[in-house]
Structure 1
Amino acid sequence: MQFDFEDDDSFNETLAIATTNDPKPSGNSVDRQVVERMLAELSDEQREAAIKTTRNALLLAPAGTGKTRVMTTRFVHLASSGVPVERLLMCTFTNAAANELLDRVTPAIYGDCDNLWVGTTHAIGLRIIREHAAELNLFNVDTIMDRQQQEEVVTKLMYSTEHPMAGTPNQKPTIDRILDFIEEAKNAMKSPEEAVDAIDAGDVDWARGVSFEDARVYTEYERFKLAYCMIDYNDMLYLPTRLIETNEEIAETWRGMFAHVLVDEYQDLSRSQIRLLKNIVGTGNDAACFYAAADDDQSIYGWRGSDVRATIDFQRYWNEADILQIRDNYRTPKAIFSHASRLIRHNTDRHAKNIRTARDPDALVRSLQKQDEAAEKQAVLENILEGCRRFDIPFERVAILCRSNRMCQEFASFFAAKDVPVNLHESIRLSAEPIRALVNWMQISTKADNPLMYEQIAIYPEVYLPEAAMIDHAARLQKRHNKQPNGPKIGPIAMLLEMHGRGKTTSGSAALAEKIVEVRAFLENPPSAPFAALADHLGITEKVANSTRSEDHQLPAFLRLADEMVGQIGLTKTLASLTQLDLNAGKDGINITTMHGAKGLEFDIVALPGWEEGEFPNATRRNPNDISEERRLAYVALTRPKKMLIVSWSGRDGRQRRPSRFLTEAGIIQS
C-alpha cells in the first residue's frame, strides 16, 4: 500500500534527528539476511532511528508510527553489528507487549531464545532475584503472590499480631490500607524497619493514616514471605533494586552486565521501574547505552504508578540524551487523526512533535447524540453495520471501546440480544475456587511450598483435611520453625510428606500426601496442555460441570488460555506470571473492551460510546493531572481506527448530560 503523507501542523515543531554511523560487521549468532530484511522494511526515518549511534536517546513515536518495529530492529541490528546478545537487554511494560518483542526478534536469532534478556521490567527483576537467591535467602522462588493471597496473609497476621481492627467491620478497609502502605513503602525502597522508623519520626508523606500496628503487620508480612520463599508483585522491583544499591559487589556485576538497555513503552514505567533500570545501566564510562521509545501523549497508567514526567523530563533522568522522532502515522487517516491532534494540544505539559498522516477520501467520522442509552446503543449498532457493508469489513475488525467495564457489559448484552456476535474482552481472575485450586496443584511441579497453596489443595476438589487438622499442621510447622529458626526451610507440603514417610499421618493426611506424590509424578513429563490434563486427572473439570456457581464456569476459558500461554512461554514461566487472562483469545465477533485494554491495538472501525461529562472524563477525576491523563486516554482511543470513527453520547441514569469537553476540544462537535 502506498502512503501519501502530509504534515499535521497541530503537532508543533519538528525535532532534528542526529546523523547515524555505519554499523560494523559481526560474527554474532544472528541471521544477517533477516536483519537486513527487517532494516529494509523500515522507512528511511525509522531506519535512521533504529541504527542511531548514541549514548542515551529517547525516540518520540506518536501513535501508529511503528516504534516497536524500530525497537526490535535496533535490537537485532546491534547483535548483527557485534554486540553479544547476552549483553542486550530489552524490556517493556506488559506481558503482551513483551511477547510481541520476543516474537519479532526471534526469527533473526539463531538457537534457543529462552535466555534472551527480553521481557517486562518485573520479569527482568525476577531473573535478578533468582540469580541471587542465596544472598536474599530465597531458594525456591516459584510463587508470586496475587492480591487475594496478600489479603489472606494480612488477615492472618492482623489476628496473630492482635491488630485492633481484626474481626471488626473495619477489617477489610484496614487490609486495603496496609497493602497500599506496603506497596508505597516498597516503591519508596523502604524496608519494614525503615518504614517503622519513618512513622515514628513523623516522616510519612507516603504513608498518611498508617498506624504503628499497620507497620507491624508489614514487618510480619515480610517474615512470613521469607519463611516460605514467597514474593509479591512489588518485590520484583524492590528486591533487586535494594540488592544492587546495598551490595557493591553485586552492583558491579549488574552495572557491567549489559552494553545496551532498550525500553519500549517507556511512558508507562513507574519511578521504581526506572530506578531499577538506572541501577542496571550504571554510571560513568562503563555505563550501558540507554535507548527508550515513548509517546508521552499515550501515558495512561498513572493509577498504576507510571509517571509521565519521566518522559517529559527524559534529559534530566538520562544525561546528554538525544531526542529522536519518527513522524509517519501508518494507521490513522488524516480525517480522523486531525481530531486526535486537536484534542491532545490541550495538554500543555508534553513534548512538541510533528507528525505526518495520509489522506484517505473514504475515511469517515460520525458523531451521534441520542436522548437515552438504549437509543445510543441502537445508533452505534446501525452505524457499525453500515460501515461493515460500506468497507466490506468483518466484525473481527470492529471495536467498541468503553470507559468502564460496566459499559462494556451493557453493550455486549445489547448486541447479543440483537443476534450480533460479540467478543467481550473480559479478564479471568484467579479467585474462582476451581481455578485457584488448579493453579496451586500445578505449583506442585515446582519447589513452591507454602501455607496458602497447602490450604487450597487440602480442600479442593476433595476435602482431605478438616480445619482442625490444618490448624494442627500449622502449629507443628510453627513449632519446628521456632526450634530451628536458622535451620533448613521447610513448608507444610514437605512436612506432610516427611510425616507420611515415617508413618505418622492419619487417613486424610495420608490420602493428601499420596495425591501430592501422584500429581508430582504426573507433572514430571507434562502433556502439551498440562492445565486441562491435570484438571481432568483431579476431577476438577467434572466438578465444575456440575457446579451451580457461575464463577466456576470460567474454568474452560482459563484452561484454554493458560495452556496457550504454556505453548508460548513454557509451564514454569506461565506459573510465575499468571495474574489474570483475557477471555477474548480465539473468539470471533465485534470486539468490546475498555479504552485502556485497546492500547497498542488497531481496528478498521472503532465506536466510542458514552462521551459525556461525568462519564468521560469521569466525575471522580477532577484535578488537572487527572484530566490530562483522561485526555491522553481519549487520544489513545481516537487513534485506534483505520477507516471509520463513531463517537456517541446520551443521557445516562435518567439524567441529561452535557457532551464531553473532549468532543469540542477535538473539533468533533462545535462548542
Structure 2
Amino acid sequence: PAAALLPDYTKALAARAALDFDDLIALPVRAMRDDPGLAARWQGRWAEILVDEFQDTNLAQHRLVKLLAGQGGRVFAVGDDAQSIYGWRGAAVAELRRFAEHYPAAPAPLRLETNYRSTRRILLAANAVAACDPEALRKVLRPADARSAMGPPLSLTILETPEEEGRAVARRLLALKKKTPDMAWRDAAVLLRATFLADPLLLALREAGIPAGLVAEREPDPPKEILAAQAWLRLALSFRDGAWDPAADDAFRRACVLPPRGLSGRLFARLRDHATEAGLALAAAIPTMPATADERTPFQAVAATAQEIAAAFASQRLSPADALQLAATRAGLASGLRQAGPELLAAWEAAFAAAGRSGSLGAYADALALGNVAGEAEAPDAIALMTLHRAKGLEFDHVLLPGLEDGVFPHFRAEAQGSLDEERRLFYVGLTRARQTLWLSWVRRRRDWAAKPSRFIAEIPQQLFREVA
C-alpha cells in the first residue's frame, strides 16, 4: 500500500531538498497553524488575496487562504460553482457556496452573467440545466448583445447502436463542412463522458475521410531522444564545484539509457542501492559502488561526458536552445537526427523553440526538472475527440455530445455516490463549450444493455430543439 512507501518517499524528497505538490500546501498550513507568530508575519504581507478558479480548490487550499488572510484580510475569489467538476480529486464546491460565511466582511458577490461565447439558445439550455441543481448559486447567462438572434436550434438525434451514432456524427460534420467550406476541422469537437465511447466514433470519422484524433487526458511525453538531451543538459548543470546534485538523479538515469550502453537493470539497481545507503548522488556513488572496474566503466563514461558538457557550458554564455543543442551533440544524440523521420524532426524544432522561450539557462533547467516545458509540434487540423473534463476551458464553434444515455451520462454510480449534481455540472460544461451549434445524441442499445436517454436531456426546454417562428 501507498502508506508503506511513504517513509522512503519522504526520505528521498528530503535527500533532494524537494517538495511535492501536496507539501507546498500542507507544510505551510501546518507551520502557520502551529506557530501563530509565523502566521501573523505572513498575514501582514498582503492586504488582499486573489484566488482564481475558486470552485476547484480543496479543503487544504481553503485553510491556507484563511490562514494567510487572518481576521482582517480581504479575499477576492473568482469562480463558477456550475463548473465545479473535480469533486473526485478533492475540490469542495460547498466552500465557494459558503464564501460569505467564511468571510462575513465580504461585500455582495458580483455576478458576471454576460457571455461572449455562445448563442442565446445555447445559453438558455445551459441556464435551464444549471437551475436544476437546488444548491447552485443563482445566475442567468445572457449574450453580450441583447439584440442577438437565437441561433440555430439544438439538435437531438436518436440512434440504434454506437456504430450508427458514429456514422451520424460523421454525417453531421460533413454537412457542417459543406455549409461552411472555410470551416477548419479543429473548429468542431466531439465531447465524451468517457473514453470508451470513442472507438466507433473514430472508426466512422476515418471511414468518412475526416481527420480525427482522441485527445489524451495528459499531454504525451516528448520523444525519448528529446527527453534524453534534456536529461544530459540537467545532469551537466548539476555538476558544480566538483560535486553532483542528487536532485538530478532522474536525469542521470535517463542519460544512462540513451545513447544505449548495455547497462542492465540489475547493475543499475546495485548503484542505486549503494547511493541510497551512502546518501550520495548516483553519479557521486560510482567510484565506491560494489562492482568490478568493467562494470563501472559505462557509468564513468556517462559522468565524464556530463562533466565535459558542464565545462563547455562554463566556458561560454549559451542560450537555452544552444545549450540543448550542445548537450545533444556532445552526448552523441544529434547524429541520429540525420536518419530521423519528419515527426521526430518536427518535435526537435518544437523543443528548441520551447527552450528559446525559457529565458535563462537556469530557468530552463528548473522548468525541465518540474516537467514544465511545453514543446509540442503544431497539431494537425483535425476533429478532436476528448472527455468533457479535458474540454473545460476550451471552446469550439460546433460541439457534438454523443453517448447521452442514463448510466453513461450521468454515470450509473452517480446517485449512490452522491455525485449526480456534479454530473449535471459536467453536462453544463459541455453545453457551454459551444459557440454556434450544439448536437446531442443517444443510442437505444449500448454494449449489451437497452438504454434510455440521459435525464439531463429532459432538463433542456424542448422548444430549444425547434425553430421558433
CA distance in 1, matches of 2:311, 2:463: 65
Encode CA deviations 1:440-463: one digit per residue, 9 max, x unaligned: 434325545255443343233323
1:455 aligns with 2:455: no
2:190 corresponds, among 395, 400, 408, to 400
TM-score by length of 2: 0.80
State the partner residue of 1:338.
Answer: 124
Report if the CA contact (8 A) 1:365-1:644 is conserved.
yes
1:365 corresponds, among 113, 133, 154, to 154
Equivalences for residues 11-26 of structure 1 within 5 A:
none
Deviation at 1:631, TM superposition (A): 0.6
Give the gaps of 5 or more residues in structure 1.
Answer: 1-173, 182-213, 482-489, 548-552
Letter in 2 for 1:664: A
Report if the CA contact (8 A) 1:403-1:595 is conserved.
yes
Equivalences for residues 586-665 of structure 1 within 5 A:
586-623=379-416, 625-650=418-443, 651-665=445-459
Deviation at 1:371, TM superposition (A): 0.8
CA distance in 1, matches of 2:350, 2:410: 33
Equivalences for residues 197-346 of structure 1 within 5 A:
214=4, 217-248=5-36, 250-284=38-72, 287=73, 289-322=74-107, 323-346=109-132
State the partner residue of 1:134.
Answer: none
1:355 aligns with 2:141: yes
Letter in 1 for 2:246: D
Give the gaps of 5 or more residues in structure 2.
Answer: 239-244, 465-469
Deviation at 1:399, TM superposition (A): 1.2
Q: 1:434 to 1:584 in 2, by over 3 A?
A: closer
Deviation at 1:258, TM superposition (A): 2.4
Q: 1:441 to 1:411 in 2, by over 3 A?
A: farther
Report if the CA contact (8 A) 1:612-1:660 is conserved.
yes
CA distance in 2, matches of 1:643, 1:455: 50
Deviation at 1:298, TM superposition (A): 0.4
Deviation at 1:527, TM superposition (A): 4.3
CA distance in 2, matches of 1:621, 1:533: 54
State the partner residue of 1:493.
Answer: 283
Paired residues, number:
440
1:518 corresponds, among 304, 308, 324, to 308
Q: 1:280 to 1:445 in 2, by over 3 A?
A: farther
Deviation at 1:318, TM superposition (A): 2.2
Report if the CA contact (8 A) 1:363-1:643 is conserved.
yes
Encode CA deviations 1:503-541: one digit per residue, 9 max, x unaligned: 999422321111221343566624437667755664557
Letter in 2 for 1:658: K
State the partner residue of 2:235.
Answer: 444
Q: 1:609 to 1:497 in 2, by over 3 A?
A: farther
Letter in 1 for 2:137: H
Deviation at 1:336, TM superposition (A): 1.6
Q: 1:537 to 1:299 in 2, by over 3 A?
A: farther
Deviation at 1:313, TM superposition (A): 0.7
Letter in 2 for 1:600: G
Using the TM superposition, name which of 469-478 and 538-547 deviates more. Answer: 538-547
Letter in 2 for 1:443: R
Equivalences for residues 6-85 of structure 1 within 5 A:
none
CA distance in 2, matches of 1:563, 1:621: 46
Identity of paired residues, percent?
Answer: 26
State the partner residue of 1:425.
Answer: 215
Deviation at 1:374, TM superposition (A): 1.7
CA distance in 2, matches of 1:530, 1:613: 55
CA distance in 2, matches of 1:554, 1:596: 28
Deviation at 1:428, TM superposition (A): 3.6
Deviation at 1:643, TM superposition (A): 1.1
> Any idea what SS the aligned residue of 2:456 has?
helix
Letter in 1 for 2:414: R
Q: 1:277 to 1:403 in 2, by over 3 A?
A: same
Q: 1:333 to 1:454 in 2, by over 3 A?
A: same
Encode CA deviations 1:169-228: one digit per residue, 9 max, x unaligned: xxxxx3xxx1xx5xxxxxxxxxxxxxxxxxxxxxxxxxxxxxxxx3xx323321222122
> Any idea what SS the aligned residue of 2:453 has?
coil
CA distance in 2, matches of 1:366, 1:529: 53
CA distance in 1, matches of 2:22, 2:463: 44
Deviation at 1:270, TM superposition (A): 1.2
CA distance in 1, matches of 2:393, 2:174: 25
> Any idea what SS the aligned residue of 1:324 has?
coil
Structure 1 residue runs of 4 or more that deviate by more than 6 Å after TM superposition: 541-547, 553-558, 579-584
Letter in 1 for 2:18: M
Letter in 1 for 2:234: Q
Deviation at 1:302, TM superposition (A): 1.0
CA distance in 1, matches of 2:334, 2:232: 14
State the partner residue of 1:667.
Answer: 461
CA distance in 2, matches of 1:410, 1:543: 38
Deviation at 1:319, TM superposition (A): 2.9
CA distance in 1, matches of 2:194, 2:329: 36
Encode CA deviations 1:413-451: one digit per residue, 9 max, x unaligned: 432332212354233445986576555434325545255
> Any idea what SS the aligned residue of 1:458 has?
helix
> Any idea what SS the aligned residue of 2:154 has?
strand
1:375 aligns with 2:172: no
Q: 1:532 to 1:365 in 2, by over 3 A?
A: farther
Encode CA deviations 1:539-568: one digit per residue, 9 max, x unaligned: 557779999xxxxx9977865665555455
Deviation at 1:591, TM superposition (A): 2.6
TM-score by length of 1: 0.58
Deviation at 1:642, TM superposition (A): 1.4
Equivalences for residues 463-478 of structure 1 within 5 A:
463=261, 465-467=263-265, 469-478=267-276
Deviation at 1:589, TM superposition (A): 2.1
Report if the CA contact (8 A) 1:270-1:307 is conserved.
yes
CA distance in 1, matches of 2:191, 2:376: 16
CA distance in 1, matches of 2:159, 2:323: 50
CA distance in 2, matches of 1:598, 1:364: 23
CA distance in 2, matches of 1:529, 1:388: 44
Report if the CA contact (8 A) 2:235-2:252 is conserved.
no
Letter in 1 for 2:259: P
Letter in 1 for 2:157: L
Using the TM superposition, name which of 621-630 and 244-253 deviates more. Answer: 244-253
State the partner residue of 1:384.
Answer: 173
Q: Provide the alpha-carbon RMSD of the alignment.
A: 3.7
Report if the CA contact (8 A) 2:401-2:430 is conserved.
yes
> Any idea what SS the aligned residue of 1:592 has?
strand
Q: 1:478 to 1:336 in 2, by over 3 A?
A: closer
Q: 1:390 to 1:619 in 2, by over 3 A?
A: same
